[in-house]
Amino acid sequence: MDDAGLDGVELGLKVDDVQEQEAAAADSHSEIAEGIGFEDEEATTHRHGTRGMTVAFQEVEYIVQNSAKWREKISILSKVSGSIHPGDLTALMGPSGSGKTTLLDVLAGRKTVGTIKGTVVYAGHKPSRSFLRRYTGYVEQFDTLLDNLTVEEMLMYTAEMKNPVRESLATKKAKVALVLEQLALTSCRNVKIGNALDRGISGGQSKRTNIGLALVTNPRVLFLDEPTSGLDSFTANEVMSVVKGLMKTGMTICATIHSPTPTCFRLFDRMMILLRGHMVYAGPNGGEAVQYFERTNPEYPRFGAGSTSDNHAEWIVDLTTKAYRDGKALEFAERYRVSQQCTENAEALRGDMAAREVSAQVKKELRARQGTSTPFYFGVKTILKYRLWRDLSDITYLGPRVADKIIVGLILMSLYWHIGKENFGPNAVNIGAALFMITILPAFAACAYIPQLVLERPVYYRERNDGCYTALTYLSAKVIEEALVALVQSLVFACIVYFPCEFTGSFGLFWYTYFQTTLIGILLAYFIAAISPTMDVANGALPAWIVINLFFVGLLIRPQDQPRYWHWFQYIDFLHYAWTAQMINQFQNTNIYIFLGIELLEFYDLRNKAKWAFVGYEAVFIAVFFVFAWLALTFIRHQKR
Ligand SMILES: Nc1ncnc2c1ncn2[C@@H]1O[C@H](COP(=O)(O)OP(=O)(O)OP(=O)(O)O)[C@@H](O)[C@H]1O
């Protein structure tokens, strides 16, 4: 769909038009705030535009292990100071690699590695990590959306996840409607997000949807990392004008921006410029910034005189990039440190760092201890509500979970037709082999559960960083969804195989053992996916582990024939318990002598053993692998930032 036609967004993007849009958005926000019953304080802040808070940082350093040199630490940020105020759209600029994203991550509490020194305060108070998750919005450079949801569903899903559970659905819907309107997304609200192969919304719409995710909770502070990267200048202007429009809601907004178009650049009120992790300018945008650089760095061509840049944005980007390449970062930083501008900023910073009187509500938020606002049951319900039906109607989701089992089931049926009732000697070996294949099928097939977890990783990390849910909520929802599919699939499979093959013993045990093994396979796949850095590693590790388990099931080599030093392995092999239960179920009421007068169950050392006990032993693995997967999802982060 073409961006140009959307919701009357004027793509000529004159600043006046932008201001009109801002006013309209702010008015409608206030109206909705009053109409749908936001909390009192929220409604007030929308009307008076004071929802945001000053973010101040002093002498911030960020030190991290150098990925290029073993045992060497490098400093990415070197004692940078500054403040971001509500009412000012602040740009964080600098050449690529200068530390913009790092500073934004530090301010928003998103760093997962490295050491942070210095002080960051919100309204003069040190915020808790949970406050940063719940009351600030962070729009990442790369869009992390669920491609099979529509724009509106994506926003509703996030709104339900991030807003307090006591808030009514109608209020959440109204918030989403407001965000759709503010971001000019109303006309594509029902379009699927899609991906690179299955196109849905456009790049600009995708970027605005991503911004919308941060807005549905009406955050106090909004951080945007390169909101215009990858967009053409036309769409970049459109996105930034929408961001500018949000200023009227009273939010504090700071965006990193690499090479802004002149129109984008004019929308910013203030700017901070980093060079190699040093602050080289913080102050008003536009002409004043240009004058500052002309004054302090006379060796470089002045704007308009000898310079090839014909607008302020381009001139500043060219100058700082040249300085960076000339190795003048430290020199620029020193010139800023001794400048009048820095002295004035330091004076203002003292005030911004001082603790100020805040409302009881803000005080409570700043001390928030819980990173998520949704309880466990509500999080699980919401994930299932938005993802379950979409997944179930997707053939690429159901195919690897159901189709392969049905095909294998049909082959088993035709190959072992009526075999169960012919319980004579040599045939018993065939029955044991059939039960072996039935047991190991769901374990191998568990590979199908790995891709979703690995491919969803960027969304999972973003949603956890945003305080949408905990690892336990996410894992539980996924397991419930997969278990529901496995329940139906296992029943169909059991019917296809058990009755035509005329297996004896309890059908309940036959089906349940197969279902339970499928469930354990899912959890094992999740655990391996969670600990593996890449999909290739996970796809290699799972089958390798299953193959090792096969040796100890009991069929390929009997437990009593295994070397003593391998005896322990059968106890940690869930397939051993499943196959044993199936074997006792099939043969416990028969007296088959397979050879040399040895009775079959005796041959496998299964005589007088209780089949349901083995089902119970296998069930322990559900709990074990669930806990393993939960711990891995909670503590292992493959995202280093
Ligand atoms: N662990 C690390 N080891 C070595 N260098 C690192 C490490 N982490 C970050 N860096 C470097 O720190 C610098 C700052 O990175 P950052 O992503 O903050 O820059 P940026 O200004 O946002 O760049 P861009 O505009 O390209 O996104 C980069 O040069 C990056 O290579």
Rounded to the nearest angstrom, the distance between the alpha carbon of 341 and the centre of ligand 1 is: 27
112 & 207 share domain: yes
511 & 621 share domain: yes
Domain of 18: which CATH number?
3.40.50.300
382 & 409 share domain: yes
Ligand 1: which residue has its CA nearest to atom 9?
76
Ligand 1: which residue has its CA nearest to atom 24?
96
What is the gyration radius of the CA atoms in the chain, in angstroms?
31
Q: Yes or no: say if 339 and 273 are a contact pair by the CB < 8 Å rule.
A: no
Cβ atoms < 10 Å from Cβ of 17: 15
Provide DSSP, 307-345.
-S--SHHHHHHHHHHHHHHTT-HHHHHHHHHTSHHHHHH
Considering the domain boundaries, does residue 371 fall inside one?
no
Ligand 1: which residue has its CA nearest to atom 18?
99
314 & 391 share domain: no
Each residue's pLDDT tens digit, 483-519: 999 999 999 999 999 999 999 899 999 999 999 999 9
Q: How far apart are CA 136 and CA 9, in angstroms?
A: 26
Pocket of ligand 1 (CB under 6 A): 64-68, 74, 76, 94, 96-102, 256, 258
Considering the domain boundaries, does residue 10 fall inside one?
yes
For residue 64, give the ligand 1 atom closest to its CA: 1
For residue 94, give the ligand 1 atom closest to its CA: 21
Q: How far apart are CA 85 and CA 79, in angstroms?
A: 20
Q: How far apart are CA 165 and CA 150, in angstroms?
A: 23
Rounded to the nearest angstrom, the distance between the alpha carbon of 510 and the centre of ligand 1 is: 56
- Taking 50 as the pLDDT cut, the residues of the chain under it are 1-49
For residue 98, give the ligand 1 atom closest to its CA: 21
For residue 67, give the ligand 1 atom closest to its CA: 3
Quick one: pLDDT at residue 593?
A: 67
Burial pattern 532-553, b for ≥16 Cβ within 10 A else e, equals beeeeebbebbeeebeebbbbb
Rounded to the nearest angstrom, the distance between the alpha carbon of 92 and the centre of ligand 1 is: 14
498 & 617 share domain: yes
Rounded to the nearest angstrom, the distance between the alpha carbon of 97 and the centre of ligand 1 is: 5
Considering the domain boundaries, does residue 437 fall inside one?
yes
Q: Yes or no: say if 263 and 84 are a contact pair by the CB < 8 Å rule.
A: no
Rounded to the nearest angstrom, the distance between the alpha carbon of 319 and the centre of ligand 1 is: 20
Ligand 1: which residue has its CA nearest to atom 30?
97
453 & 524 share domain: yes
Q: How far apart are CA 156 and CA 601, in angstroms?
A: 58
DSSP H helices in 108-218? 129-135, 151-162, 169-182, 203-215
Rounded to the nearest angstrom, the distance between the alpha carbon of 459 and the centre of ligand 1 is: 22
For residue 102, give the ligand 1 atom closest to its CA: 18
Instruction: Report helix, strand or coil for 221.
Output: strand
Considering the domain boundaries, does residue 641 fall inside one?
no
Q: How far is CA 41 from CA 38, 170, 241, 614, in A?
A: 8, 19, 27, 59
Rounded to the nearest angstrom, the distance between the alpha carbon of 82 and the centre of ligand 1 is: 20
Which amino acid is residue 267, in one-letter code? L
For residue 105, give the ligand 1 atom closest to its CA: 18
Rounded to the nearest angstrom, the distance between the alpha carbon of 440 and the centre of ligand 1 is: 47
Domain that holds residue 436: 376-635
Q: Which of 341, 366, 391 is the last residue of a domain?
A: 366
Rounded to the nearest angstrom, the distance between the alpha carbon of 389 and the centre of ligand 1 is: 40
Q: Is the dihedral of CA 200, 206, 210, 212 positive or negative?
A: negative
106 & 39 share domain: yes
Mutate to test the pocket of ligand 1, among 69, 74, 76, 280 (most ligand atoms within 8 A of CB): 76
For residue 104, give the ligand 1 atom closest to its CA: 18
Q: Which of 366, 389, 410 is the last residue of a domain?
A: 366
Considering the domain boundaries, does residue 640 fall inside one?
no
Mutate to test the pocket of ligand 1, among 102, 116, 639 (most ligand atoms within 8 A of CB): 102
Quick one: pLDDT at residue 228?
A: 86
600 & 622 share domain: yes
496 & 575 share domain: yes
Quick one: pLDDT at residue 384?
A: 96
Quick one: pLDDT at residue 48?
A: 36
For β-strands 598-599 and 593-595, DSSP reports them as: antiparallel
Quick one: pLDDT at residue 50?
A: 59
Considering the domain boundaries, does residue 324 fall inside one?
yes
Considering the domain boundaries, does residue 295 fall inside one?
yes
Q: State pTM to two decimals.
A: 0.83
What distance, in Å, lies between the first and last C-alpha atoms of the chain?
Answer: 34
Q: Is the ipTM of this complex over 0.90?
A: yes
Each residue's pLDDT tens digit, 394-446: 898 999 999 999 999 999 999 999 888 776 777 888 899 999 999 999 999 99
Find the length of the chain.
641
Q: How far apart are CA 55 and CA 630, in angstroms?
A: 35
Mutate to test the pocket of ligand 1, among 63, 65, 98, 321 (most ligand atoms within 8 A of CB): 98
Ligand 1: which residue has its CA nearest to atom 29?
97
DSSP H helices in 367-449? 376-392, 395-398, 404-415, 425-445
Rounded to the nearest angstrom, the distance between the alpha carbon of 101 and the centre of ligand 1 is: 8
Find how far residue 472's CA is from the centre of its chain.
Answer: 14
As beta bridge partners, residue 83 has 56
389 & 323 share domain: no
Ligand 1: which residue has its CA nearest to atom 25?
96
Q: Which of 334, 366, 398 is the last residue of a domain?
A: 366
Quick one: pLDDT at residue 307?
A: 66
Considering the domain boundaries, does residue 463 fall inside one?
yes
Mutate to test the pocket of ligand 1, among 63, 100, 112, 229 (most ligand atoms within 8 A of CB): 100
Give kind and range of the element (H or E) at residue 284: strand 278-284
Cβ atoms < 10 Å from Cβ of 87: 15
Q: Under 8 Å CB-to-CB from 574, ≥6 apart: which residues?
A: 443, 517, 520, 549, 618, 621
311 & 396 share domain: no
Each residue's pLDDT tens digit, 110-164: 998 999 999 999 999 999 888 888 889 999 988 889 988 999 999 999 999 988 8
131 & 181 share domain: yes
Ligand 1: which residue has its CA nearest to atom 12?
76
Q: How far apart are CA 241 and CA 9, in angstroms?
A: 9
Number of domains in the chain: 2
